[in-house]
Amino acid sequence: MINIIWAAMAVIGIVYAALFGNMDAVNKAIFQSADDAVALTIGLVSVLVFWLGIMKVAEQAGMLKMLAKALSPLISRIFPEVPKDHPAMGYILSNITANLFGLGNAATPMGIKAMKELKNLSGSNEASRSMITFMAINTAGLTLIPSTVIAIRLKYGSASPTEIVGPTLLATIIGLTGALCLDRLFYYLDRRKSG
């Protein structure tokens, strides 16, 4: 599906530009955005190196195991296929915690690391049930305090910049619940289809 969506985005864009004479802009955008993507990756290097370094120390000090054990009763319901004290649990929890506190820079490396551990568990190049559940939690956009949005509201003279915290949290919870339900639904549909 991702193959089709990816090709479709580019092809639709090029055909549309051909029909409406925007080919110039498309041509520029191709090279500019490739450049941007490289800059984005380089920006990720420092974050990934630093956080995976710190998390390795935390892992070797046994802190991830402790965290995983403490919160596993809750999380193991959501991830039934991950053993209780597997390192994946620790990384999943670190990712969720970092997301909740709006520490996006720390959340991404831990999320990737969690995926890597989940891949070790499944041992295949196909997305496993746990991986998709974990992805669903992340795309639902967990946030306790949407600090970037608050900052923008503050900048544009809102009388009460934080008043959207409650509605945002509520919307996030509904989105998360929806994501987890859909995840379950598609998992069972998929299993039935493949027998």
Of 75-83, 84-92, 108-116, the segment contacting another protein by CB under 8 A is: 108-116
CB-neighbour burial class of residue 41 (10 A; exposed 0-12, middle 13-18, buried 19+): exposed
In the complex, least distance from residue 82 CB atom to another protein, rounded to whole angstroms: 15
Please answer whether residues 151 and 144 qualify as being in contact, where contact means their C-beta atoms are separated by less than 8 angstroms: no
> According to CB under 8 A, which residues from 76 to 95 bind another protein?
none
Of 11-19, 67-75, 78-86, the segment contacting another protein by CB under 8 A is: 11-19
In the complex, least distance from residue 16 CB atom to another protein, rounded to whole angstroms: 4
Residue 145 gets the label, from left (phi > 0), alpha (psi -120 to 50) or beta, of beta
Sole binder of another protein in the list 80, 157, 192, 195 (CB under 8 A): 157
Count residues binding another protein (CB under 8 A): 106
Sole binder of another protein in the list 33, 70, 83, 84 (CB under 8 A): 33
Q: Closer to another protein by CB, 75 or 103: give it.
A: 103
Q: Closer to another protein by CB, 13 or 78: give it.
A: 13
Q: Closer to another protein by CB, 83 or 158: give it.
A: 158
Query: Which residue in 146, 67, 152 sits closest to 103, CA to CA?
Result: 146
**DSSP symbols for 28-40:** HHHHHHHHHHHHH
The secondary structure of residue 71, as a DSSP letter, is: H
The secondary structure of residue 132, as a DSSP letter, is: H
